[in-house]
Amino acid sequence: MLSALDGRAVLLERAVASAGISVIYQDPDLSLIYAENLPPHFQPLAAPGGSDADLFGATHGGNLQKLKQQVLETGKPTTTEIEISIDGEMRTFELKIERVGADHTAGILSVISEVTETRHREKVLKSLLRELSHRSKNLLAIIQGIATQTARNTLTLEGFLVKFRGRLQSLSNSQDLITDSSWRGAFLFDLAEKQFAPYWPETAGPLPISGTNVHLTPNAAVHVGLALHELIVNSASYGAIAGSTPAVSLNCREVVSAGRKAIEVSWAETLCDPTEVHEFSENSFGRTVLERVVPTSVSGNAELTLIPGRIEYHLTIPDAEFEILRSPPQRAAMR
C-alpha cells in the first residue's frame, strides 16, 4: 500500500510540474514549510522558515501576509494576482490561497500558476474589441449618412431603394477587402476592381486601372470606394460605360501636396457626345460625396471638372492614409 501511495505521489508531482503549477505551504505564522515546482526565479528564495516578502518582495509580501491572515481567520479561500519583474519582463502569477487543517494546526496552502500569456491575450482581445466597437460605430455613421442623403435627394421610394442598395453594396465590397486584411486596409487596384465588377461590360476588355497600386488605410479604402462607386454608377447610367466602347481611365500617381508626400487618384471619362456637358445635380448626393465627404474624410482635397465631352475627377490623399508597398505589380489591373 505504501509503495502504491508513493507511486501516486510521484505521478501527481509530475502532473503538477508539467502543468506549470507551483505549491507552497506555510505554518500559522506564515513561515515557509514546503515548496514544490517553483519557477527558477523563486527557487533560491524559498528557504525553510522564509516569508512571502523573501519570495515576492516587500510590497507583495506585505499584501500577501494580510490576505493570508484573513484566510486563516475566516477559512474562506481567495485568489489574487501579483506582477513581478523577472529578467526585465513583467510576469503575472495567480495565487489560489486556502486554509488547510483546523484550529492551531491550520496552515496556508498556496497554489501558484503563471498567467502572463493569458493576461496578455485578454488585453489584446479587449483592445481588439474596443477597436471593433469604434470601427462599427464609424461604419454605422457612414450608413446613416448615406441613407439620409440618398433619401433627401430621391423623389420616389423605388429610386431610393435602388440607389441606397447600390451604395450599401459598394460599402460592403470595400469592407470585405478591409476585413480580409485583418483591418489593415486594402490595395487600390483590388478596391477599384470590386467597384467596377458589377458595371464593366464583358466585351470592354481589361479594367482601365493603372499607376501605383497603393495600400490604403481602412478609412481611406471605405471613402475612396464610395467615390469610385459614384463615378462608376454615373458613367454606367449616363456616361461612357453606358456606351459600346467605354473610354474611361483610373490612374494613381505619387505627388507632393502642401510639402507632404501624397497620391493623386484621377478619373477621366470621355463622353459619347463630344459636345455634351454632363451635369451632376448641384445638390446631388453623388456630387456631395465626391467634392466634400470623401476629401474631408481623408484630410485631402478633390476637384470635379465637367467640360464638353469629358468628366474628370482628381482626389489628393496625404501619406497618413496610405503606404506604398513595392512588391505589388505596378501595372494596370486585369479583369
Indicate if the pLDDT at residue 96 is higher than 80.
yes
Predicted local distance difference test score (pLDDT) of residue 335: 42
Asked which of 16-25, 63-72, 311-320 is least confident by mean pLDDT, the reply is: 16-25
- Same domain for 84 and 204? no
Predicted local distance difference test score (pLDDT) of residue 327: 58
Domain stops at, among 114, 143, 171: 114
Tell me which residue range forms the domain holding 77.
2-114
Half-sphere exposure of 190 (CA within 13 A, CB side): 18
- Same domain for 238 and 161? yes
Each residue of 223-261: pLDDT tens digit? Answer: 999 999 999 998 988 888 987 677 999 999 999 998 999
Domains contained in the chain, number: 2
Judge whether 120 lies within some domain. no
What contacts 24+ positions apart, CB below 8 Å, involve 64-70? 64/95, 65/30, 67/97, 68/26, 68/30, 68/97, 68/108, 68/110, 69/30
pTM, entire model: 0.68
Burial class (CB in 10 A: 0-12, 13-18, 19+), 26: buried
Judge whether 233 lies within some domain. yes
Cα-flanking dihedrals φ and ψ of residue 255, to 5°? -140, 180
* Average model confidence (pLDDT) across the chain: 87
